[in-house]
Amino acid sequence: MNGIRLIACDLDGTLLDERKQLPDDFAATLARLGRHGVVFCPASGRQYHSIVALFPALAASLPVIAENGALVMMGERELASSCVAAADVPRLVATWRGLVRQGRALGAVLCGKRAAYVERSDTAFVEETAKYYPRLEVVDDFCTVDDEVLKFALYDSGCAEREVYPHFAALGPSLKAVVSGEHWVDVMAAGVNKGRGLQQLQKALGIERAHTMAFGDFTNDLEMLEAAAHSYAMKNAHPAVLAVARHRAPCNTERGVQQVIHGMLAGAGV
């Protein structure tokens, strides 16, 4: 198993199938990893509560990298968090509102520690958002929300990388925008990414990069892949991810993560 002790894995487009669900027998895979002393950590742009809902039996002990690295949990205990400065929230909201006034049908989610917040209440947007943020509240004004802000997420039904990302990438050195999917752009505090979240978890567990494996498919996974010596890009990953990862895994629709893990376990005789 090449000394693997920790596996960090993106969810959407990587581990989850086209229905946004775990492979049917993934619980058995986790059990096999546990018997061999390998820690599994889901790492996603999703809300923490959305992630642990996929692993209900492990919620009390599962390490989780949530909100693209803005929140790192060890079971139900917060290990680390990085919040957007309060002074930056109005700038984010003003940029979003400016694009909406220009005619863009752009949804926004203010992601806090307690819940996620939206101003739009139309059914289609709320249902799409709730897939990733089950603790969701509709508010009148983002700027009046009393919560620590982990992230500002933007949803565009077109190409978010082309149409939305440039506007938020130019907001200055205190913020960082990343494309987290075909339709999503996330903005966090500068320096926040899944890679830093993984490094914080590695330090807490006493596990080195050389003993870490990671899987990803989109540009918000780049730093995480670089933080793992054994990095895998899904076969249909973003070109930038394919360029960084050392190895390839079959597509998520082909249960690619499980194929790699099962091959590793078989080689170890587990």
* Residue-wise pLDDT tens digits, 29-45: 999 999 999 999 999 99
Domain boundary among 154, 189, 224: 189
Number of folded domains in the chain?
2
Q: Is residue 60 part of a domain?
A: yes
Which tokens sit at 31?
Answer: 């059990």
95 and 180 both lie in a single domain: yes
For the segment 178-201, the average pLDDT, to the nearest whole number, is 96
Question: C-alpha 81: how far from its chain's center?
Answer: 14
91 and 39 both lie in a single domain: no
164 and 241 both lie in a single domain: no
User: Distance from first CA to last CA of the chain, Å, rounded?
Assistant: 10
pLDDT score, position 220: 95
166 and 41 both lie in a single domain: no
Distance CA 233, CA 222 (A): 10
Is the confidence at residue 268, as pLDDT, over 80? no
Phi, psi angle pair for 240, to nearest 5°: -65, -35
DSSP for residue 43 = B
Instruction: State the burial class of residue 201 (Cβ atoms within 10 Å of its Cβ: 0-12, 13-18, 19+).
Output: buried
pLDDT score, position 24: 87
pLDDT score, position 1: 59
Across 212-245, b (16+ Cβ under 10 Å) vs e yields bbbbbbbbbbbbbbbbbbbbbbbeebbeebeebb
197 and 78 both lie in a single domain: yes
95 and 169 both lie in a single domain: yes
Phi, psi angle pair for 176, to nearest 5°: -135, 125
Decide if 105 contacts 158 (C-beta within 8 A): no
Share of the chain above pLDDT 90, in %: 89
* Residue-wise pLDDT tens digits, 220-257: 999 999 999 999 999 999 999 999 999 999 999 999 99
Backbone dihedral region for residue 202 (phi beyond 0: left; psi -120 to 50: alpha; all else: beta)? alpha
Is the confidence at residue 124, as pLDDT, over 90? no
Q: Is residue 1 part of a domain?
A: no
Is the confidence at residue 269, as pLDDT, over 60? no
Q: Is residue 50 part of a domain?
A: yes
92 and 48 both lie in a single domain: no
CATH number at residue 140: 3.30.1240.10
Decide if 155 contacts 108 (C-beta within 8 A): yes
Distance CA 113, CA 81 (A): 9
pLDDT score, position 52: 95
For the segment 263-269, the average pLDDT, to the nearest whole number, is 79
Where in the sequence is the domain holding 66, given as residue range(s)? Answer: 6-82+193-267
